[in-house]
Structures are given as structure tokens and as C-alpha cells.
Amino acid sequence: MNTNKPPVVTSSPSTVVAYDETHFGNAVVPPIFQNSLFVFESFADMADTYAGKKVRPVYSRGLNPTVRAFEEKIAKLEKTEDALGFASGMAAISASVLSVVKPGDRIVAVEHLYPDAYRFFEMMLKDLNVTVDYVDGRDIDAIDKALPGAKLLYLESPTSWTFHVHDIAKLCEIARKHGAISMIDNSWASPIFQQPATLGCDVVIHSASKYLGGHSDVVAGVVAASNDFIGRLRGQILPYLGSKLSAFDAWLLLRGLRTLPARMREHQRSGLAIAQKLADHPEVVAVYHPTLGRNLPDGLTGSSGLFSFEFSPRVNIPLFCDALGIFKIGVSWGGHESLVVPALVSRAQVGGPNSALRFGVPENLVRLHIGLEDADDLWSDLSAAIDAAL
């Protein structure tokens, strides 16, 4: 077998199969195709490829076999026809939204979006004369009333910071009734605990920088959807925005995916244990954990390690943060390490008092990511830091 040859791909662009284990000496770990171009075997090979008779890697901004292996796994996990990798979660979000809206269109989005998705809507889409209405996703009637005439229903469940959980199946059914495309950011649950396409959602987006990668060593994104939607993104949007996932990052993601189910089980177990201890703590006013003490909503089969809680005014939040030892102060989440972000700081970043991002986020809110360290050690760290901050 000639292991130097790139695999020849023969299906249509939206269903490309660019990676086949048997092409690479049955390597248990896929190789990294760390190259920009793939040469042709002959004039006819090139002519057939350009004529669309054959699909094969030509240039890595288009098709790269390592990236393709990652995309195929995500499509299987999300139970969609296809998937497409991006250089970041925001690249996946902006490309997906831009592929749907035109000037004059309207989007209905749920409140408490990921802050940079909100800024993309407010700063870039506004300039393109696309309007966005934010509605509480828990209020089915309000969504139903807002949707007529909208092109897109943009969802995130659970939401950022407040961790509101929505009835995805119902919301997507309403979107379909009104002729709107439904799109969801599924980064929090990962496909292990929520597969929105099985609930009727048209487009599923991930920041792969979080749980999919799982090791805080990659920034990446991915979109999972139908052949039609992904084919259009792959053919008409991504090549020109150019926000391509790199082969090395795809390789890191493939490694991360191997432990995704085991990691998610552990984030869930430790996250619930610590959320319960916080709920029982006298200095904690409320815990915002999507599944703690509740029946799991339809379609959500588990919980990850990211949630928030509200301190009583007696706790000095800066002192609390500085007293932590195992927990580090830092944004992002989804890796091994446990992290804390006080809303005091992030609220200051999001603009004036009327910013939609501040709305409904209490001053004394603290967000935790429960990583993969020992849960007892994590609780000792938290409870000692609370004592030090009183």
C-alpha cells in the first residue's frame, strides 16, 4: 500500500469522505495532514476535480483529511448528515448566521446569549441592517409572538451566566411553523448530553474550544446540520470568510473526543456534588445549575461542569477569588482545570447599565467551571475561600 498518497474522495462536496483508516497503515491515531496543498497525479486528475467529477483534497482551506475526520465524528455524535469545522466557535456562529440573513432581515434570539455572540449581533449585524429581538426563551408564547416575519431563531440552552433551560423541541417546532430556521449553540451540554437535531433543530453549533477539545489547548468551532446547509457553508461561505479549522487543531480535537463521554460523566458528577454543597451553604443565596434538584427537561440527558451561584452580600467577592488555591481565575471552560469568573468583573466589561447582557445577572453572581480535579479537594478549596472572605 502506498501510504503517501492522499485518499481520493469520490462523493459530492457535502458528503465528502476524505479520511479512511485503512489508507494510513491502519494507524490507530489519524495522521496530521500538516500541508497546504495536495498535488494531482495527472492533467486528467486535475481537470476531473475542477469539473466536479471527483472530490479530493486540493488545498487545505477547502478540504483537509485530518479536519474531515473530525467533521465526520461530530456529524455522527450530533446525528446530523454532515458537519463543518471552523477556526473558532465565533467563526462557526458568524458564518452560520451570515449564511442565512440578508440586509433587512430579522432574527429572534433568546436572552443571555454567549456575550461575544451578542456583540456580533449588536455590532456587526446592526451595520448590515439586520435586526435582532431578544426574548426570554422560557416564554413559549413570547417566542411565538416574536417569530412571524423572522428569518432565524437563534437559541442557546442552557443560557450563558443564568443557565436558563429551554424546551428546544417546542421552540424549534414553532420556528418551523413560522418558516424560520432554528440554530442552537450546544457548547454547554456537548452532544453527550444533548443532541438538538434529534429535537428538530436545524443547525447545531459548538465552540469546540470547550468540552469537545477538553484540554484548554485549542480554539476551534464546528457546525452540524443537513447536507444542504453544510454544503452551502462549505461551498459558498467558509472559503471566502476563510475561517478554516487547522489540521493540527483538528488532530487535538480528535484526541479530545476519545475521552469526551468519560470526561462529561466526571464533570457532571463533581459539578452536581459541588452545586449541592453550595446550595446548602448559609452564605449562598441561589444556585443556577440547569439540572440540580429538577427533573431533566426533555432532550437534556445530563449536566456539565459549568454553573453559577449568588453569594450573600456578606461575602467579599474579590477576597474570595484571591483566597482560592485549586480554582484559578479565568475565562473559558471545558478543560481539566477548575475556574472561577465573578460577574462583578464581566458585567463591567459589557457596557452601560442598559446592556442586555447585564439584564438579570445579579451583582453577586459567580460562575464556576468544575474541572477534573478531585471533588473533595475542590470543595475544601471553595469552603475555605468563603470563610476567608467573610
Ligand X SMILES: *Cc1c(COP(=O)(O)O)cnc(C)c1O
Q: Is 214 in the site for ligand X (CB under 6 A)?
A: no
Q: Is 219 in the site for ligand X (CB under 6 A)?
A: yes
Query: To the nearest whole angstrom, how small is the minimum distance from the Cβ of residue 48 to ligand X?
Result: 37
The whole-angstrom separation of Cα 172 and Cα 186 is 14
Q: Which of 6, 65, 221, 371 binds ligand X (CB under 6 A)?
A: 221
Query: To the nearest whole angstrom, how small is the minimum distance from the Cβ of residue 340 to ligand X?
Result: 15
Residue among 221 and 335 whose Cβ is closer to ligand X? 221
Site string for ligand X, 177-196 (x = CB under 6 A): --------x-x---------
* Total residues at interface with ligand X (CB under 6 A): 13
**In this structure, are residues 233 and 75 in contact, taking their beta carbons and an 8 Å threshold?**
no
Beta strand 339-342 with 181-185 is unpaired
Grid coordinates of 105:
432581515
Residue among 164 and 210 whose Cβ is closer to ligand X? 210
**What is the 3 state secondary structure string of 157-182?**
CCCCCCCCCCCHHHHHHHHHHCCCEE
Q: Which of 64, 207, 304, 308 binds ligand X (CB under 6 A)?
A: 207
Where in 61-90 is the site for ligand X (CB under 6 A)?
88-90
Q: Is 165 in the site for ligand X (CB under 6 A)?
A: no
AA letter at 141? D
Which residue, judged by CB position, is nearest to ligand X in the bound state?
89
Q: Is 304 in the site for ligand X (CB under 6 A)?
A: no
Residues annotated as catalytic (active site), given as ranges: 61, 114, 185, 210
Q: Is 6 in the site for ligand X (CB under 6 A)?
A: no
Q: Is 213 in the site for ligand X (CB under 6 A)?
A: no
Residue among 77 and 222 whose Cβ is closer to ligand X? 222
User: Could you identify the residue written with the cell 469539473?
Assistant: 51
Q: Which of 164, 210, 367, 369 binds ligand X (CB under 6 A)?
A: 210
Look at residues 43, 5, 39, 8 and name the one whose alpha carbon lies nearest to residue 25.
5
CA 243 from centroid of its chain's CA atoms = 16
Bridge-partner residues for 223, per DSSP? 84, 205
The residues, ordered by sequence, that sit 6+ positions from 102 with a Cβ below 8 Å of its Cβ are 130, 151
Grid coordinates of 280:
446548602
Query: To the nearest whole angstrom, how small is the minimum distance from the Cβ of residue 129 to ligand X?
Result: 24
Phi and psi at 330, nearest 5°, equal: -175, 155
Q: Which of 94, 209, 303, 304 binds ligand X (CB under 6 A)?
A: 209
C-alpha distances in Å from residue 318, one per residue of 291, 342, 384, 389: 28, 8, 14, 8
Residues that bind ligand X (CB under 6 A): 88-90, 114, 116, 160, 185, 187, 207, 209-210, 219, 221
